[in-house]
Structure 1
Amino acid sequence: MSRSTRTRSIAVGLIGVGAIGRLHAKHLASRVPGASLAAVADIDRAAAEACAAECGSPDVYDQYHDLLQDPAVQAVVVCSPPDTHAQIIEEAAGSGKHVFCEKPLDCDLDKIDRALKAVSRAGVKLQVGFNRRFDANFRYVHEAVGSGKVGQPYTLRITSRDPQLPQASGSRATVGLFLDTMIHDFDMARYLTGSEVVSVYALADAMIEGSEEIDTAVATLRFASGVLGTIENGQTAYGYDQRVEVFGSKGAIAVENEKSHQVTLTDATGAHAALPLHFFVERYSASYIAELSAFVDCILGDTEPLVTGADGRIAILIALAAQRSYEEGKPVVLGGSLS
């Protein structure tokens, strides 16, 4: 992005001030060059007002429809509940606003397809919030695999475990583990291998004592390139467990957990090291800023978003196939449905 282009500013409206919405608001307010937080909307007006006051946003709405009618707003960041995403994207596109939408795009493919058609019709940008693509570690793996440094990839292993959370907290209560948590990993699987998933087999259960919802799952993937993949999700007693390995004909490349420090103390009782960073805010702070910066850049430079609506839709297809596999107890072939 050129210096002259960066002197322009995109006025962004935020829809939804939950945990991820507040994080994006803080970044838009001061850490994303070329962006300003112009308005905030949430059905909880008090929460919206608090977020706006903290981040210096001049306008507050309790209905997102009103924000979409604000002529000062050029783009929106959608952080509302997942089952509202596609509708808001469709309406935002109809109002001529560029859209950054948190994952998942929605849970209903028909609604997603209507939204994507609206975006195409309006000629606005749509970027999906798969922030892990913007993490420096995973980007290095993506580039290394793509340039042949591990040779022909054979296997992919993704471990993605959250710290233990209150039962049915956040969007997982609405859409379930495959669409809320593992959907990040389905996108990462495509990104790291450079290949499409052709079949998925998923096992899942409620492992944590007292749990009524699925909290642990393993998915095995077969890719068009022949790569075999495994994804493991769960909840830990030790922090945010985020690891990746790609193994191929020439070698392997891996990402280990990030910690608050890399010091190991060894004494008579053993070797002691720091635990993984606690959760997504600590682990992925830089990637959240990078993805919003990329969104602003694609608007200012009139380029295609680095994570498109099509990417968001494909991740949904894989997640729905995993859910079906779990329910039916057998592999599900995606075939030509990734289009």
Structure 2
Amino acid sequence: MQTLQRFALIGSGFIGQVHAANLASHPGVELALVCDIDHARAETVAQRFGAVAGSVQQALNSDAIDAVLIASATPTHADLLEQAVRAGKAVYCEKPIDLSLQRARDVVEKISPIKVPVTVGFNRRFDLSHQQLKAQFKQGVIGKAELIQMACRASELPPISYLHASGGQMRDQAIHFFDLLRWLTEDEVVTVGALGAALAMPEIREFDVDTSVLIMRMQQGALAQLDNTRRTAYGYDERISVMGSAGMLASESQSTRGATLYQGNGITQPGLYADWFSRVQTTYYSHLDAFVRHIKGEQVDGLPGLIDGLRAQAIAEAAQLSLVRGEFVAVEGI
């Protein structure tokens, strides 16, 4: 008989509810407990998915909980991560570990000697197109990487309240692509230069940007570019291409299913996914599934861990400094 991994979910906002649905539907998991500072919301989510609502201390102290999924507000991640690991729970922690790189480093240093499974929420690694690109690149299909180009263009602006709490575009949006860049190339970023502006939302100019372009130099010599925007007028646009010495691999933007119409002198094609979540929704389940298999002792390639979290954040911090200083910035070592 299969032993279920009994999970407590901490945080039941939008992304917490995405995780709740995946936990409840996974055949190897029991969603046992939902925790939130908004207890009424926790109760509602728990009832919807057949769990009970409770406190964080219940989750950490109960022998009936095997694992914790942290989907609460970013400023709570580091403390909850440390507490959960010290309690002997396996932990899936949404990114970033903390808005402060130094605080994230301190926590990782403290908990790394404790041997419990931990993963950080870089779910984009589980996109099937990106995984195929990586597999072919590792096979040497295009030779050594020389130029990597990435685009992350969200379709709709998030609420300004979200942007105030997000830590900025580099730590919130671009960080996924810093992780993808490292994972795809198995190389490290050594310097980064960033330009940014508040073009879609001028009112955030004092604390953030909504449009940015980055140039990065990799340790093995390749150059990488990333452009980000918080708003398009045509749907969610995510693209990655790796040009090598013997060709190019590309994980392209993906359209919703539909027929292409050829009529007269025009062509009408199906549009892109309407929003980022529609495009990446399945990757959350795939990441959870990989983590559950890892907890059970299976060797899972590419599962993002604590050091991956730190290294992606170090790139984000360097990019943020570059935005402010207007110059290339070296990425701190981890």
| TM-score (normalizing by structure 1) | 0.92
Identity of aligned residues (%): 36
The within-5 A match list for 1:135-214 is: 135-170=127-162, 173-212=165-204, 213-214=208-209
Q: Distance in 1 between matches of 2:266 and 2:158?
A: 33
Counterpart of 2:313 in structure 1 is 316
Secondary structure of the 2:162 match is coil
Q: Does the 8 A contact of 1:176 with 1:214 survive in 2?
A: yes
The within-5 A match list for 1:101-140 is: 101-140=93-132
Q: Does the 8 A contact of 1:89 with 1:99 survive in 2?
A: yes
- Per-residue deviation, 1:127: 0.2
Counterpart of 1:232 in structure 2 is 227
Structure 1 counterpart of 2:328, from 311, 327, 331: 331
Q: Distance in 1 between matches of 2:103 and 2:197?
A: 29
Q: Does the 8 A contact of 1:90 with 1:114 survive in 2?
A: no
Q: Distance in 1 between matches of 2:122 and 2:224?
A: 19
Structure 2 counterpart of 1:223, from 205, 218, 225: 218
Render the CA deviation track for 1:52-81: whole Å, top value 9, x for unaligned.
Answer: 111111x212x4233222221111111111
Q: Distance in 1 between matches of 2:253 and 2:102?
A: 38
Render the CA deviation track for 1:74-114: whole Å, top value 9, x for unaligned.
Answer: 11111111121111100111111111011111112232123
Render the CA deviation track for 1:161-211: whole Å, top value 9, x for unaligned.
Answer: 111224425366331100000000100111111110010000111011544
Render the CA deviation track for 1:240-290: whole Å, top value 9, x for unaligned.
Answer: 111111111111111112222152112236211122112233212221111
Render the CA deviation track for 1:126-164: whole Å, top value 9, x for unaligned.
Answer: 101101111111011111112211112110001001112
Structure 2 counterpart of 1:276, from 262, 272, 276: 272
Secondary structure of the 1:214 match is coil
The within-5 A match list for 1:56-71 is: 56-57=50-51, 59-61=52-54, 63-71=55-63
Counterpart of 1:298 in structure 2 is 294
Secondary structure of the 1:33 match is coil
Q: Distance in 1 between matches of 2:65 and 2:113?
A: 20
Counterpart of 1:20 in structure 2 is 15
Tell me which stretches of 4 or more aligned residues in structure 1 moved more than 4 Å: 302-305
Alpha-carbon distance change, 118 to 171 in structure 1, aligned in 2, over 3 angstroms: farther
Alpha-carbon distance change, 308 to 35 in structure 1, aligned in 2, over 3 angstroms: same
| TM-score (normalizing by structure 2) | 0.94
Counterpart of 2:259 in structure 1 is 263
Alpha-carbon distance change, 165 to 269 in structure 1, aligned in 2, over 3 angstroms: farther
Tell me which amino acid in the other structure corresponds to 1:50. Answer: T
Q: How many residues align?
A: 329
Alpha-carbon distance change, 99 to 43 in structure 1, aligned in 2, over 3 angstroms: same
Tell me which amino acid in the other structure corresponds to 1:180. Answer: D
Query: Comparing 216-225 with 303-312, which one deviates more in the overlay?
Result: 303-312
Query: Comparing 262-271 with 121-130, which one deviates more in the overlay?
Result: 262-271
Counterpart of 2:304 in structure 1 is 307
Tell me which amino acid in the other structure corresponds to 1:254. Answer: A
Secondary structure of the 2:151 match is strand
Q: Does the 8 A contact of 2:68 with 2:84 survive in 1?
A: yes
Q: Distance in 1 between matches of 2:265 and 2:97?
A: 49
Secondary structure of the 1:40 match is strand
Alpha-carbon distance change, 262 to 157 in structure 1, aligned in 2, over 3 angstroms: farther
Counterpart of 1:55 in structure 2 is 49
Q: Distance in 1 between matches of 2:265 and 2:100?
A: 54
- Per-residue deviation, 1:303: 5.0
- Structure 1, gaps ≥5 residues long: none
Tell me which amino acid in the other structure corresponds to 1:248. Answer: G
Structure 1 counterpart of 2:37, from 43, 57, 60: 43
